[in-house]
């Protein structure tokens, strides 16, 4: 059940927008590369809302943090389908798309699509590739086991520590999906894991202030960088792990033990 009228008095319709993202960089999920997508989509919405408001239409827009489930909205708008990897897959642009929506107080012609078309068929690539077995059956995700969640979680991640290969997020179940196979990404500068571990507060602000990956703070990224170095066996960066061992910060407790266990001197 969705109750858009709780967000906008007199709500009549919802306009759903997809924004494709096409940048990639090592050690970070694609949705987190570059400027924070919340800001990108919000900028675009502002212009559209201004236009609608001038026409006397009231609006309220959301990206990610709103009360409604965005994948379901995109499905209801008839823009694509939800795959077994739980992602919304657009017919035109695959699943590397953000979803945003504007609630308006004007009735518009609606798409009458509710059933999720079965476009996955016999394919199970995403389920078979998920490193933490978070895809627990067709169309079901155990969010607590998803590496995207684990990479944002501050403690008790020990069971999954050997699976962290990104400083933020996870794309595996989308990378293997045939609906994304023709997408081309622009390669941007790779994350420097050593820089990350030595990063000061000022450098963190300069580099991550406008990035989605920055919202859980500097030390979470440092912790994840240490896991990535160990799990990817980037031996020329093992030395920088000493910096983590020296720091008396609670979030490093688990990774310190992991460093001692894994690092070959």
What angle separates helix 253-262 from helix 218-231, to the nearest 10 degrees? Answer: 20
Q: Are strands 140-141 and 135-137 parallel, antiparallel or unpaired?
A: antiparallel
Nearer to ligand B12, 27 or 149 (CB): 149
Task: Name the residue nearer to ligand SF4 (CB basis): 71 or 125.
Answer: 125
Residue 85 binds to ligand SF4 (criterion: CB under 6 A): yes
Joined together, the tokens standing for residue 131 give 């490193």
CA 260, distance to chain mean position in Å, is: 30
Q: Which of 43, 64, 162, 190 is catalytic?
A: 64
- Largest interatomic CA distance in the chain: 68
Distant-in-sequence, close-in-space partners of 110: CB < 8 Å, separation ≥ 6? 13
- Which region among 62-70, 109-117, 122-130, 194-202 touches ligand SF4 (by CB under 6 A)? 122-130
Between 72 and 243, whose beta carbon lies closer to ligand B12?
72
What three-state secondary structure class fits 142? coil
Q: 64 catalytic, yes or no? A: yes
Q: Report the residue number, 71 or 216, with the smaller CB distance to ligand B12.
A: 71
3-state secondary structure 74-86: HHHCCCEEECCCC
Helix (H) or strand (E) holding 15: strand 13-20
Q: Which residue is nearest to ligand SF4 (CB)?
A: 83
Q: Which does 84 bind (CB under 5 to 8 A by kind): ligand B12, ligand SF4, none?
A: ligand SF4
Stretch 123-162: interaction string toward ligand B12, x if CB under 6 A: ----------------x-x-x--x-xx-------------
Which uninterrupted H or E stretch holds 197? helix 193-198
Interaction between residue 97 and ligand B12 (CB under 6 A)? yes
> Where do contacts with ligand B12 occur on this chain (CB under 6 A)?
29, 31, 63-64, 66, 69-72, 75, 82, 85-88, 95, 97-99, 114-116, 139, 141, 143, 146, 148-149, 169-171, 173
What amino acid positions are annotated as catalytic residues?
Answer: 64
């Amino acid at each position: 059940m969705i109750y858009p009228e709780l967000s906008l008095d007199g709500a009549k319709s919802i306009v759903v927008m997809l924004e494709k993202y096409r940048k990639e960089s090592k050690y970070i999920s694609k949705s987190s590369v570059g400027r924070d997508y919340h800001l990108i989509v919000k900028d675009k919405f502002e212009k559209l809302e201004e236009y609608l408001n001038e026409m006397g239409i009231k609006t309220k827009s959301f990206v990610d943090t709103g009360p409604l489930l965005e994948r379901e909205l995109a499905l209801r708008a008839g823009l694509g389908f939800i795959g077994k990897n739980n992602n919304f897959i657009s017919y035109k642009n695959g699943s590397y798309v953000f979803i945003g929506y504007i609630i308006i107080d004007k009735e518009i012609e609606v798409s009458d699509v509710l059933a999720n078309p079965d476009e996955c068929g016999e394919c199970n690539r995403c389920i078979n590739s998920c490193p933490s077995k978070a895809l627990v059956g067709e169309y079901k995700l155990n969010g607590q086991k998803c590496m995207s969640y684990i990479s944002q979680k501050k403690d008790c991640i020990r069971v999954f520590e050997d699976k962290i290969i990104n400083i933020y997020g996870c794309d595996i179940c989308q990378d293997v999906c045939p609906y994304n196979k023709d997408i081309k990404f622009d390669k941007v500068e790779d994350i420097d894991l050593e820089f990350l571990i030595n990063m000061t507060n000022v450098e963190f602000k300069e580099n991550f202030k406008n990035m989605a990956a920055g919202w859980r703070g500097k030390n979470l990224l440092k912790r994840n960088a240490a896991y990535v170095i160990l799990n990817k066996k980037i031996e020329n960066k093992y030395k920088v792990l000493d910096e983590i061992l020296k720091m008396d910060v609670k979030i490093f407790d688990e990774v310190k033990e992991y460093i001692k266990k894994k690092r070959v001197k």
